[in-house]
Amino acid sequence: MSYQIGDNISELSLPCIDGSQFTLDQAQGKRYMLSFMRFSACPFCQLRIHQLISHWQELDKNFTVIAVFDSPLEDLQKHTNNELAPFPILADEHYFYYQEFAVKQSISGMFKAMIFRMPTLLYAMIGKRYFPSSIKGKVTTLPADFLVDENGIIESIYHAKDSGDHIPFDRVKAFASRPIN
């Protein structure tokens, strides 16, 4: 299956880093960004989580983020334990929802990010200490972000152009702060 704009997301259930089982019922009535990241130790993805946490106060209280990594729960807990996220961070070790949502893979996208986003990569690794110490997941995954309204309908899909690309925060903020119908 491949979700498209206008489709209803009716099911998503994965383990959360706090040990609970996340289901979409927890986001019922809220707008959210379903964000598919790469492997848990990805410096780009850990930096994105940090940025979302840092700017959380700018987002509406009726909005949340659901971040999904393609790593085992134990590895994800190891790499995100120091980040106290106000949103769920989930493990999709078997890549089930990545396939359901047609998240793309690209070897060239991986290398493109390493070359053209080198300053960001160095900042993540040296400045923030997000080292890719273990790679448990697919290194060729390209992030994907789905903006979903309060009724579970996909309003926007953003497929990354490379491994360090995500939907711009200003688009997330504009979506989050729109009045609920």
**Tens digit of each residue's pLDDT (9 = 90 or more) over 35-55:** 999 988 888 888 899 899 989
The answer, yes or no, to whether residue 124 has pLDDT greater than 70, is no
Query: In this structure, are residues 5 and 157 in contact, taking their beta carbons and an 8 Å threshold?
Result: yes
- The domain spans of the chain are 13-175
pLDDT category at 84 given cuts 50, 70, 90 is confident
Between 178 and 102, where is the model more confident? 102
Query: In this structure, are residues 46 and 85 in contact, taking their beta carbons and an 8 Å threshold?
Result: no
> pLDDT value at position 83?
60
Query: In this structure, are residues 164 and 117 in contact, taking their beta carbons and an 8 Å threshold?
Result: yes
How far apart CA 42 and CA 73 sit, in angstroms, is: 15
CB within 8 Å of 70: residues ≥ 6 apart: 36, 37, 38, 39, 92, 93, 95, 98, 137, 138, 141
> pLDDT value at position 123?
62
CATH class of segment(s) 13-175 = alpha beta
Which is it for strands 31-36 and 63-69: parallel, antiparallel or unpaired? parallel
The answer, yes or no, to whether residue 157 has pLDDT greater than 90, is yes
> pLDDT value at position 1?
65
Element (H, E) at 52: helix 43-54
> pLDDT value at position 131?
58
**Helix, strand or coil, per DSSP, at residue 108:** helix
Q: Is 25 exposed, middle or buried (0-12, 13-18, 19+ CB in 10 A)?
A: exposed
Percent of the chain with pLDDT over 70: 88
Between 165 and 119, where is the model more confident? 165
- CA–CA distance from 78 to each of 65, 102, 152 (Å)? 20, 27, 31
Between 44 and 20, where is the model more confident? 20
**Average pLDDT in the 143-162 region?**
96
**Average pLDDT in the 123-130 region?**
65
